[in-house]
Structure 1
């Protein structure tokens, strides 16, 4: 079993005072465990100042999804003499980032996940795949709903504008033809 993950940027947000901790992806250490129908991906910073743990589960219909997501943040104090505070949170038994067998889940939009009353995770440009990763490349991409709607809205607006233009053109042609009937000049 193999596991592949590409998270370009993620940040942990402490809600209480709206502090943002952006984590540099080049410093993130990745590790993981793979089983027959469960895989775990660990993303940690040196010194364990912050960590994310994704637990992937293989579904009955040969799909995969994240069932558990745990976050831990131990930032340096924001001022001299301030006490260290540790923030933790988790999301359990959810079907996050679902994709089919041999496919990867991709989301270019911002994903904001609330793990506790004090901690939210903001993932940007996320792509994950578990269980059937061909030679460390991603399989066919499954877009998240946010990306899907961003592509769908311009198509709907374009179709609406085209319909209005065609309706106006046909109405003009029908009115123009109707005025020609009647008396003919000699």
Structure 2
């Protein structure tokens, strides 16, 4: 009986040790699994670390920041260069909202050919694309495309995309080797719900000597702003001269009439 009790006690001790060993092993495995679900920063894998950087529409328009973008060919030569500030104008239910493109978060991509080049300015939630054509001694933009996918206005609101395009055009025309420049606002209607405003704008494709802009071709708006004050000044001076001349002639004529009397 004593031997039976002794054997029973040994069996119970072994069972208890085995149970404790399994429990410790289970805790170790659970700890390892928990650590495996964490990345090096201590955040759970699968959790989104980046807050959405999609465009946020604003109710009021502000001046955009000016960015400088270049595109190089396979030889490492600059084939397209653009300095510009861009404002996206979204029209929804006759209400305008605005987004300024941030040059610091915008990347220039595309390609360069001998007669055709494409410059695409890409950022999170949108892009703006220029297609350049070299035709004889003239270079111009034949097509412009843009798309904007802003953040929804509310958590339960659906995301909307606003695409637009202008094709078969001859925009920003300049003689080869020269750049098109406009300090005035350049507004383009790409769709009923999307407009693009660029201010300022200097752009050139092909024939960029040492990667720098050529002589500027002035846009009509800048030309008008520069010429109109000169013309108005000349007209004002002419009117004053005519008035003085008429006054002198009338005075001389009256003097002659007095002498006759």
Q: With structure 1 as the length reference, what TM-score do the two structures score?
A: 0.92
Secondary structure of 1:99's aligned partner: strand
Residues 18-61 of structure 1 show CA distances to partners (whole Å, capped at 9, x for unaligned) of 1111112222211231101001101011x3x110010000012x
Q: Hey, what does 1:93 align to over in structure 2?
A: 168
Partner residue in 1 for 2:102: 24
Pair 1:11-2:87 in alignment? yes
2:194 is matched with which residue?
119
Q: CA deviation at 1:92?
A: 0.4
Alignment of 1:7-156 (within 5 A): 7=84, 9-16=85-92, 17-45=95-123, 47=124, 49-60=125-136, 62-156=137-231
Distance 1:133 1:183, change over 3 A: same
Structure 1: distance between partners of 2:101 and 2:259:
81
Gaps of 5+ in 2: 1-72, 74-78
Unaligned runs of 5+ in 1: none
Shift of 1:179: 2.5
- Secondary structure of 1:65's aligned partner: strand
Name the CA distance, whole Å, in 2 between partners of 1:168 and 1:183: 25
2:244 corresponds to which residue? 169
1:117 Cα offset (Å): 1.2
Q: Which structure: greater strand fraction?
A: 1
> Which runs of structure 1 show a deviation greater than 3 angstroms over 4 or more consecutive aligned residues?
none
TM-score norm. by structure 2 comes to 0.66
- Structure number with the bigger relative contact order (C-alpha 8 A, sep ≥ 6) is 1
